[in-house]
Amino acid sequence: MFLGTATGSIKSSLKDRYAYRWPSTEDAAFDLFNPARIYQWCLAIHRVRVAYAKVNGRRPRLLRPQRYTEKIQWRKLFDLNPVYATISDKLTARDFIAKRVGAHMLPPLLWSGDDPAAIPINTLDTPYVIKSTHACGHVLKVWQRQDFDAEGAISVLQDWLGTDYGRAFDEPANAALPRRLLIERLLLRADGKPPLERRFYVFAGRVRFVQTTFADDDGLHHRAFNDRDWRPLEWYFKTPNQPEQCHRPKRYDDLVALAECLGQGFDHIRVDMYDADDELWVGELTVYPLGGLTSFTPDEADKIVGSYWNLHRPARRALGAVLFRWWRIRLNESDFLPSSERCLEESSAARETTCPPHPSRSDETRYTAATAAALSEG
């Protein structure tokens, strides 16, 4: 309460004193000494530090971060690369993924739009999954049309569209995204169970370790960590590992190749994929894994993973961002097409793709050449 009152008073005071410099929007011309811009940075840094301290019991080192979770906070604040917005939006990320590894590696897209009432519930074939494009954790699975509560679902989806996820969690790549919905075919294995989720942590284009997520009969999600050579790691977040349920994937080499292709050009990215033994799909690319607000156990793992991530001149880049930029990521609106245009474009890309089928060890050379060509175009 006191902090809110104090910051409100400071803002009013600054606006009164520097009214001639205070822009009506962040699109105003840049001014090094613009108090609104300085105030914005002060608040963002304060919020990130407080949120991190609440979870970890210590403030993050932001100018010379060492831990993995500290480097995520650094990225939130100071690495304002507009590409992060493109790959954080679940629709535009599909275009990025399709260019690099082919549209055939994506779950089939059934519908997208920003009006829940416009979803063609009576014509969509089940099962499918509804997601928001701008946030994490917004997932609604529909198994049978007759069991679907359309009225209740519309209310939930409207709540999703009203959620400013990026600002709530200080993730600038998500903050300015258009709030939309997409519907994808629900992926299943041959036995009707969901595929395993494989999350590849890629640093400078190289997979360093893998996190596998799976569910047991009571629905709880468990995770297991393995290094690049599939040796078990004694790390976990909230739930202890169950390595006996996590065997080496049948097509592990293919998964690694896909993850490293998608991770090229980033100092760090998490590539999330679905593994159904013979079938593989790319789910999404994650810029801020768990917001950097989930602690590793043991604590040493946070330092080890942080050592994999080579941040180039973090203090100098942070100072440059604060001095010469607003705390935001500006979007290229042409990247965010209306749903009708996007569905048409995506279906055309799927028909015309020259990418090879799912990679296998027997065609490793062909796959490498195709991905190298895609990388040069992307």
The mean of the pLDDT values for the chain is: 83
Give me the pLDDT at residue 241, please: 74
Q: Are 224 and 232 in contact (CB under 8 A)?
A: yes
Q: Look-up: residue for tokens 């760090």?
A: 268
Q: Residue 298, preceding bond cis, omega within 30 degrees?
A: yes
Q: Which two tokens stand for residue 187?
A: 């992926």
- The yes-or-no verdict on residue 230 having pLDDT over 70 is yes
Q: Which two tokens stand for residue 22?
A: 């205070």
The 10 Å CB-count burial string (b at 16+, else e) for 234-249 is ebbeeeebeeeebeeb
* Rounded (5°) CA angle 192-193-195: 120
Give me the pLDDT at residue 9, please: 62
The CATH number for 108-186, chosen from 3.30.1490, 3.40.50, 1.10.490, 1.10.10, is 3.30.1490
Give me the pLDDT at residue 17, please: 56
Confidence band, pLDDT 50/70/90 cuts, at residue 246: confident
Q: Are 186 and 141 in contact (CB under 8 A)?
A: yes
CA 54 from chain centre, in angstroms, equals 23
Give one word for 102, left, alpha or beta, with left for phi > 0 and alpha for psi -120 to 50.
Answer: left
**Pairwise CA distance, residues 101 & 350, whole Å:** 12
Alpha helices in the chain (DSSP H): 2-17, 35-56, 68-78, 82-88, 92-101, 150-161, 165-168, 172-175, 252-263, 300-308, 314-324, 339-352, 364-377
- The yes-or-no verdict on residue 338 having pLDDT over 50 is no
Q: Please say whether the dihedral angle defined by the alpha carbons of residues 286, 288, 291 and 293, taken in this order, is positive or negative.
A: positive
**Pairwise CA distance, residues 115 & 154, whole Å:** 9
Residue 144 buriedness (CB in 10 A; 0-12 / 13-18 / 19+)? exposed
pLDDT digits (tens, 9 = 90+) for 252-291: 999 999 999 999 999 999 999 999 988 999 999 999 999 9
Give me the pLDDT at residue 178, please: 94
Confidence band, pLDDT 50/70/90 cuts, at residue 343: very low
Give me the pLDDT at residue 96, please: 96
pLDDT digits (tens, 9 = 90+) for 295-326: 899 999 999 999 999 999 999 999 999 999 99
Give me the pLDDT at residue 193, please: 87
**Pairwise CA distance, residues 239 & 294, whole Å:** 12
Confidence band, pLDDT 50/70/90 cuts, at residue 176: confident
What percent of the chain has pLDDT above 70?
Answer: 77
| Three-state secondary-structure class, residue 120 | coil
**Pairwise CA distance, residues 168 & 170, whole Å:** 6
Least confident of 89-98, 185-194, 219-228, 335-344: 335-344
**Pairwise CA distance, residues 91 & 109, whole Å:** 9
Least confident of 155-164, 301-310, 340-349, 362-371: 362-371
Name the CA dihedral angle for 81, 262, 180, 135, rounded to a multiple of 10 degrees: -70
**Pairwise CA distance, residues 213 & 163, whole Å:** 26
DSSP classification of residue 181: E
Confidence band, pLDDT 50/70/90 cuts, at residue 223: confident
Q: Which two tokens stand for residue 327?
A: 């705390």
Q: Are 115 and 180 in contact (CB under 8 A)?
A: no
Give me the pLDDT at residue 238, please: 76
**Pairwise CA distance, residues 144 & 186, whole Å:** 12
Query: Can you give the length of the chain in residues?
Result: 378
The crossing angle, in degrees rounded to 10, of helices 68-78 and 314-324 is 30
Sorted by where each begins, the domain ranges of the chain are 2-61, 74-105+194-378, 108-186
Q: Which two tokens stand for residue 200?
A: 């590849």
- The yes-or-no verdict on residue 250 having pLDDT over 80 is yes
The crossing angle, in degrees rounded to 10, of helices 252-263 and 364-377 is 20
What percent of the chain has pLDDT above 90?
Answer: 64
Q: Which two tokens stand for residue 60?
A: 């993050």
pLDDT digits (tens, 9 = 90+) for 102-153: 999 999 999 999 999 999 998 999 999 999 999 999 999 999 988 888 899 9
